[in-house]
Amino acid sequence: MTATEPKAAPVIEMQDLSVGSMQDPRLSVAEHIDWRVNAGDYWIVAGLQGSGKSDFLMMAGGVIPPLAGSYRLFGEEMPIFEESRLSTRLRLGLVFAGGQLLNHLTVRENVALPLRYHRNLGKSEAEPAVNALLEAMELAPWADSTPGALGRNWQQRVGLARALMLQPEVLLVDNPLGLLDLRHGSWWLGFLEQLSKGHPLLGGRPITLVVTTADLRPWKSRAQQFAILRNRQFTVFGALAQLEAANEQLLQELFE
């Protein structure tokens, strides 16, 4: 970028933001958050169990409004519920912990939902794109099974496939390695890294990632930026070197 070129606007910008609990929206789990996410960033938001990571990510995904402050996604005030602004909201994908799939639908039907609902495609029209995604994510053998027939390892992956169906520019992922075995955990680490650099599924376009975790160890050599949620405080460290230099008790717990 030259001196005459304007600095790119952040894709996510939070100012003096407070986050409420999903269980009790009046209860604050994080306060006074000032945070910017730029296009192409790969953030890890870490915190111990019960610290409010999922609440924070649900707010970032537009599921719940903030208690106070400002949150803008691609320059648009969040949360976005209006039909006229839906195109901005759909530039963001959200992967829930455990997948949060519809159990009465097959894997194929769960993954196709964004195309059927937001693009108004018929079953046969959506099928080529859905099948390609299922193949790329090793889900094709379970395409016609219902989520109840799958283990958590695969349910989580189906949730990711559904979130990628509209090829979002920003992807929020809630605790993807929780309760996964080593093989599936390794797959997630590698696949998210590919997404951050530019995966063929998205035409080689790098995706902006925000991922929550209670264990920082697997992410040290993968992510680019780090933040910690603790005692209702959201602390932005940035690069790994800055995180490790902090040498706080919580960091020891998250690295252990």
72-123 pLDDT, tens per residue? 999 999 998 888 888 999 999 999 998 899 999 999 999 999 999 899 889 8
Q: Given this model, what pLDDT does residue 242 score?
A: 86
State yes or no: pLDDT of 27 exceeds 80: yes
The better pLDDT of the pair 244, 232 is held by 232
185-204 pLDDT, tens per residue? 999 999 999 999 999 988 99
For range 143-149, the mean pLDDT? 95
Q: Given this model, what pLDDT does residue 158 score?
A: 96
CATH number of 12-255: 3.40.50.300
Across the beta sheet with 12-20, the strand order is 76-77, 68-73, 12-20, 28-37, 233-238, 225-230, 42-46, 208-213, 170-173, 92-95
Residue 65, C-beta contacts closer than 8 angstroms, at least 6 positions apart? 59, 78, 79
Q: Could you tell me what percent of the chain has a pLDDT over 90?
A: 71
> Is residue 22 a contact partner of residue 58, using CB atoms and an 8 Å limit?
yes
State yes or no: pLDDT of 184 exceeds 70: yes
Comparing C-alpha atoms, which of 158, 112, 165 is closest to residue 137?
Answer: 158
State yes or no: pLDDT of 210 exceeds 80: yes
The better pLDDT of the pair 37, 97 is held by 37
pTM to 2 decimal places: 0.92
84 phi and psi angles, rounded to 5 deg: -65, -20
Long-range CB contacts for residues 73-79, cutoff 8 Å, separation at least 24: 73/11, 73/12, 73/170, 74/9, 74/11, 75/9
Instruction: Give the start-to-end residue ranges of the domains of the chain.
Output: 12-255
Per-residue buried b or exposed e for 2-26, using 16+ beta carbons within 10 Å of the residue's own CB: eeeeeeeebbbbbeebbbbbeeeee
The tokens of 68 are what? 């106070």
Measured from the Cβ of residue 245, the count of other Cβ atoms closer than 10 Å reads 10
- pLDDT bin (cut points 50, 70, 90) of residue 4 is low
For range 232-239, the mean pLDDT? 92
For range 155-166, the mean pLDDT? 96
Mean pLDDT score across all residues of the chain: 91
> Is residue 146 a contact partner of residue 104, using CB atoms and an 8 Å limit?
yes
State yes or no: pLDDT of 251 exceeds 90: no
6-26 pLDDT, tens per residue? 678 899 999 999 999 998 878
